[in-house]
Structure formats: C-alpha cells, structure tokens
Amino acid sequence: MTRVRIGSLALALGLFAAPALAGQAQPTEGIRYGFGGGLTLPMGDYADATKTGWHVMGLIQLPISQSPIHLRFDGMYGTNSSESGSGSVKLAGATADLLYHLGNRASSVRPYLLGGLGFFSVSNGSSESDFAYGLGGGILFGIGNMHAFLETRYVSVQTSGSSLTFLPVTLGLMFGH
C-alpha cells in the first residue's frame, strides 16, 4: 500500500507543480526525444522479494499525422535491491507504446494515457528475457523550449511461471521540433 501512496503522491505533486512551471503553450506535434529517471515500485510477489529501486529511461516519440495519438519507443534500465540484503534484480527493457494526449493541443499542460508491449530482461544471477506489457498515464508541461513529464505506469513482465510487476514513476525532459 505504501508503494501505491508514493506513486499517487508523485503524480499529485506533478499536477500541482505543472501550472506553476508551465510558461508557454506547448504544441505536442513533431518528433520528440527525451530521458528521465525515478523510482521503481515493486508490486505483488516482486514487492515481497525486493525493495523500492531506481530506473533511468530514454525515449523517442513520433506523431501519427495530426492526431492526438503518438507512437513512442522507450528503453529502460533499473535495479531493485533484494529484501534479504544480498544481491539485486536488474531490469532492462524496451516497449513500443501508443500515447494519447488529452485536452487542447495548445494547452500548456497536457495529460496523456499510454500503453504498449515490449520485452524485458530480468537478471538476478541468471538472466531471462520475456514479453511485457504496460498501461499508465502522465502529464506533459512546458519549461522554456523544453517539455517536462511526470508519469507512472503498471508494467508486467511475463516471467516463466509467473509475472513480475512494478510501477516506474518517472520524471523527465523532452526535446524536439
């Protein structure tokens, strides 16, 4: 429950901070690239075995015509320490997502929804690469000629015999035309 509260708090802080930081209307069209990082909150059985960890992420986002839908490719690397104190679980993966912007295109703050499929490598002594899916949302806001984002999503990696689930809470910057 604490992990859900931390994720909710991060999203709420972004909602309140976004209007104060948004200095201009922000078009969301065009090719964007970016990076970010944040907390990785394990869920379910994964939360029983590991502690809250960290992750870094890189992305490229491509518009689909003049629609509010974009195609986004993410790469992520992170680690969670073992609850037992010895070792850690490393996560490395990539997803292809559809991202849907809500609200007016010229608005300075735009929430969005995203979901997609990908593959993750899970390593805790041995390594296993498996299919993954994720669903989530975030907020995009302008800072000068850049865009910042705060997002979280539910990610499930379908490991052999079970699934490994976590919530990455990411704060990052986007650049582009």
For residue range 107-163, list pLDDT tens digits in order. Answer: 778 899 999 999 999 998 788 889 999 999 999 988 877 889 999 999 999 988 788
Q: What is the pLDDT of residue 8?
A: 53
Confidence of residue 5 (pLDDT cuts 50, 70, 90): low
Residue range 17-45: average pLDDT? 72
> How many residues does this entry show for the chain?
177
pLDDT above 80 for 25: no
Mean pLDDT (the chain) is 85
Whether the CB-CB separation of 177 and 28 falls below 8 Å is answered with: no
Percent of the chain whose pLDDT exceeds 70:
83
pTM value? 0.82
Domain count, the chain: 1
Q: Which distant-in-sequence residues (6+ apart) come within 8 Å of 126 by Cβ?
A: none
Percent of the chain whose pLDDT exceeds 90:
55
Specify the higher pLDDT residue, 104 or 56. Answer: 56
Q: What is the pLDDT of residue 28?
A: 55
- Of 13, 9, 14, which is closest to residue 110 (Cα–Cα)? 14
Whether the CB-CB separation of 126 and 147 falls below 8 Å is answered with: no
Nearest 5°: phi and psi at 5? -65, -40
Q: What is the pLDDT of residue 16?
A: 47
Q: Give the domain extent around 108.
A: 2-176
Say what the alpha-carbon torsion angle 15, 57, 52, 2 is, to the nearest 10 degrees. 20
What kind and span of H or E run contains 157?
A: strand 146-157
Specify the higher pLDDT residue, 30 or 59. Answer: 59
CATH classification of the domain holding 68? 2.40.160.20
Residue by residue, DSSP assigns 19-63 as HHH--S-----S-EEEEEEEEEEEEHHHHHHB--EEEEEEEEEEE
Confidence of residue 24 (pLDDT cuts 50, 70, 90): very low
Nearest 5°: phi and psi at 51? -100, 170
